[in-house]
Amino acid sequence: MHLFTNAVIYTGSQVLRYASLAVQDNIIAGIYPEGERYTGPVESVTNLDGLSVAPALIDLQIYGGGGLLFNNDPTPETIHATFRDVQAGGGGWFQITLSCSAPEIMWQAIEACRTYRAQGGEGLIGLHMEGPFFNPEKKGAHPLKNIQKPSKENIAAIVERGRDIVTYMTIAPEMFEEDALDMLLGSGIILSAGHSNATFEQAKYAFGRGIGRATHLFNAMSQLQGRAPGMVGAIYDTAPFASIIADGVHCDFASVRISHKLLGEKLFLITDAVTGSNRGDYRFRLAGDRYVDADGTLSGSSLTMWQAVRNCTQKAGIPLEESIRMASVYPARAAKLADRAGMLAPGYPAKWIAFDEKLDLAGEHCRLGTTRTT
């Protein structure tokens, strides 16, 4: 048993001051508020000296790390490098994300995830396939040549090859015939609407059919207008889980605040972070606080999850406790991991971040190790 004392603990449901955590075999054995304490045998005691502790953060959309972009290098090494960047930004769990790609790259990405899991699977939830079933009118920085029209044949190939690996897929629902959408809805893959030019009515219908997520709110989707509420209007009206990029570039911080007022516990943070690349279909360069492609099109963020939390608190005016939940509790629910990630509670993995009163991470006290989600 290892004891961590004198902390402010953000459990995911409450904030406990002058509290302690007991950890055994990398699992939380108990949490003790002020006035209570663990009285059994202890192997070690760490005084956190008033630091705050919160659940390890969860990034459901990140494309690479350590200078390696998953589309260019769909290998276990890229996934490992990405996890190291995820950890540096306060994350303990992540979905490696593959941008809209040719079939051979998709198959390589699936096998890379399978190999990474066989090697230990540090932090990996699974593969988020962003595409290939987009609306070309909302392709963003994704190459038109990689967009596919959904059919039973290409859906069946993805479902079969990606079994237990492809956990999440971003699709444009208006591009699907009913039988093709039924195949995906029955596959067990979590579906998210994005890169879509759906009308309000089409988007509402898709959410009603069972697409319970939306990808990077405001970006690459039909906007809310007075006479055409679009995808954004349908998200506000239906309240699926929706991810948002809180960097002040992909959307204004006021839009983050307004969206949180409307969506509450359904709004969660992602980084949408890429890395520099000068080859392949995706060539990105850092332009100040964002990444752009060769044409200057916004292509991804340079965020970390902890930066997104800080931005929500310091720039969007969302309370810190809620900003932390947007990066832990709510993405855990969106990814169907709420029983084993996103909280600090007995029985959950002992994976957490530690930070000071200035909201700077105290890296030496963060526990963002190797515990798997499966």
Domain chopping of the chain, boundaries: 2-54+343-365, 57-334
pLDDT at 374: 42
pLDDT at 290: 87
Q: Is 51 helix (H, G, I), strand (E, B) or coil?
A: coil
State which fold the 2-54+343-365 domain adopts. Answer: Urease, subunit C; domain 1 (2.30.40)
Domain pair 2-54+343-365 / 57-334, same fold: no
Q: 253-263 and 305-314 are packed helices; what angle lies between their axes, rounded to 10 degrees?
A: 90
d(CA 349, CA 345): 8
Smallest CA-to-CA distance from 367 within 122, 91, 94, 126 is with 91
The catalytic site residues sit at 272
Architecture of the domain delimited by 57-334: Alpha-Beta Barrel (3.20)
Would you say the C-alpha torsion 169, 172, 173, 176 has a positive or negative sign?
Answer: negative
**pLDDT tens, N- to C-terminus, the chain (374 residues):** 999 999 999 999 999 999 999 999 999 999 999 989 898 999 999 999 999 999 999 999 999 999 999 999 999 999 999 999 999 999 999 999 999 999 999 999 999 999 999 999 999 999 999 999 999 999 988 999 999 999 999 999 999 999 999 999 999 999 999 999 999 999 999 999 999 999 999 999 999 999 999 999 999 999 999 999 999 999 999 999 999 999 999 999 999 999 999 999 999 999 999 988 878 788 888 888 888 988 888 888 999 999 999 999 999 999 999 999 999 999 999 999 999 999 999 999 999 999 999 999 999 999 998 655 44
For 285, how many CA atoms within 13 A lie in the half-sphere containing its CB? Answer: 6
pLDDT at 370: 62
DSSP string over 265-326? GGEEE---B---B-SSS--BEEETTEEE-TT--EEEE---HHHHHHHHHHTS---HHHHHHH
